[in-house]
Amino acid sequence: MSESHPETVVITGGTAGIGRATAREFARHGCNVAVLARGKDGLDATRRDIEELGGRAVTIPTDVADWRAVEAAADRTEQELGPIDIWVNNAFAGIFSRFMDVTPDEYERVTQVTYLGQVNGTRAALKRMLPRGRGKIVLVGSALAYRGIPLQSAYCGAKHAIQGFIDSVRCELLHEKTNVTITMVQMPGVNTPQFDWIRAKLPGQPRPVGKVYQPEVAARAIYAAAHDTRKEMLVGLPTVEAVWGNKVASSMLDEYLAATGFKSQQRPERVSPDRKDNLFEPVAGDHGAHGSFDDEAVDSSTELWMTEHKKQLGLAALGAAAIAGAGFMLRSSSRQPQRGRSKAKGRS
């Protein structure tokens, strides 16, 4: 990106939580940002954030489950901001409930938004990027794309589906030898407002599992992924543990989560009978990026830091290797004359 040609970025679900923090992150870097979401209050507030940070903004009321609406939003973005350089598929829906308590309509809705929403966004992006031969798509995933947990079967299933989706699409892009690339960012538990508005059929109010990260950590990871060509980025130690733990001890994790996974996803506070959720309609108001867990959320990730500093780390590793190699050569050369003198003495 240059000052004369700022990047044009589309962020779905960009008005709250990770999406809101991501909109701010790209705006800080001078990008033009199109935000696709349903709620007017959140769209208006996000527009103000982007403009205050120096970016140009277009906010478009969009339900990502509707592919025609996504196509129309992509057209409007390019008309108002120029060719799309980066598309971030972040929008999702969820429900905290035992599987048998989820209705077919609820399950379908979560799948349409969380899985097909990313499919629709990717299609709209590729339709515009492939003819130009450049562009970046970021899929926002989760540790739960690898390791399903109880009470979130619809969400876990959708994130697993995205995992298979990127495998297939990335192979096709590699086959076509295009400069359009796609990366999936696997997230840990994040302190977002979703836990206050997600549909819940539980005694206790929902909460993230394990260590909680601030949404700005997720936003920095998405920005890094948008400027990288790798297939996948893992954010936070819990994500690494979930991915590798499921590879080596999946059945043991089933037993562990059966014993702990219900209580660990609920707060002591009871779910209110008049609780409003955003499964089918947005909840009015500006909900911002942060949720109710500021007192425990952390604002850094070692894994993300290593990604952000990979060039420096690579140079440091090369330097260390060079020093080690030089030391080995010096030690070897210092020993060679000694061996020569010993042989000469033996011949005399």
Tens of pLDDT, residues 320-329: 556 666 655 5
User: Residue 264: is its pLDDT beyond 50?
Assistant: yes
In percent, the amount of the chain with pLDDT more than 70 equals: 85
Q: What is the pLDDT of residue 38?
A: 97
Rounded Cα distance between 275 and 183, Å, is: 36
- CA 228 to each of CA 47, 50, 163, 181: distance values in angstroms, whole numbers, following the listed order: 27, 23, 18, 9
Place of tokens 């679900």: 13
Q: What is the pLDDT of residue 24?
A: 98
61 CB-contact burial (10 Å; exposed 0-12 / middle 13-18 / buried 19+): middle
Span 67-87, average pLDDT = 98
Q: What is the pLDDT of residue 319?
A: 65
Q: What is the mean pLDDT of the chain?
A: 91
Tens of pLDDT, residues 124-143: 999 999 999 999 999 999 99
- DSSP code per residue over 31-79: -EEEEEES-HHHHHHHHHHHHHTT--EEEEE--TT-HHHHHHHHHHHHH
Residues paired with residue 86 on neighbouring β-strands, in sequence order: 9, 136
Rounded Cα distance between 111 and 99, Å, is: 14
Q: Which residue has the higher pLDDT, 346 or 238?
A: 238
User: Residue 341: is its pLDDT beyond 50?
Assistant: no
Q: What is the pLDDT of residue 336?
A: 57
Q: Which residue has the higher pLDDT, 1 or 205?
A: 205
Tens of pLDDT, residues 213-222: 999 999 999 9
Residue 228 CB partners (closer than 8 Å, separation 6+) = 183, 307
User: Residue 333: is its pLDDT beyond 90?
Assistant: no
- CA 267 to each of CA 30, 105, 108, 262: distance values in angstroms, whole numbers, following the listed order: 39, 27, 27, 11
Q: What is the pLDDT of residue 238?
A: 93
Q: What is the pLDDT of residue 342?
A: 46
User: How many Cβ atoms from other residues are within 10 Å of residue 14's Cβ?
Assistant: 33
Rounded to the nearest 10°, the torsion over CA 99, 105, 109, 112 is 100
The alpha carbon of 214 is separated from its chain's Cα centroid by a whole number of angstroms, namely: 13
Rounded Cα distance between 88 and 91, Å, is: 9
Q: What is the pLDDT of residue 185?
A: 98
First-residue to last-residue Cα distance in the chain: 74
Task: Provide the pLDDT confidence category of residue 234 given band limits of 50, 70 and 90.
Answer: very high
Tens of pLDDT, residues 94-103: 999 999 999 9
User: Residue 334: is its pLDDT beyond 90?
Assistant: no
Q: What is the pLDDT of residue 5?
A: 81
Span 251-255, average pLDDT = 95
Task: Provide the pLDDT confidence category of residue 309 given band limits of 50, 70 and 90.
Answer: low
Residue 207 tokens, joined: 């909460």
120-129, 161-170, 192-201, 307-316: which has the minimum mean pLDDT?
307-316
Task: Go through the domains of the chain in sequence order and give each one's CATH number.
Answer: 8-308 (3.40.50.720)
10-24, 37-51, 191-205, 333-347: which has the minimum mean pLDDT?
333-347
User: Residue 304: is its pLDDT beyond 90?
Assistant: no
Rounded Cα distance between 267 and 153, Å, is: 19
Span 148-158, average pLDDT = 98
Rounded Cα distance between 37 and 193, Å, is: 15
Q: Which residue has the higher pLDDT, 310 or 186?
A: 186
Q: What is the pLDDT of residue 307?
A: 59
Where on the phi/psi map is residue 290: left (φ > 0), alpha (ψ -120 to 50), or beta? beta
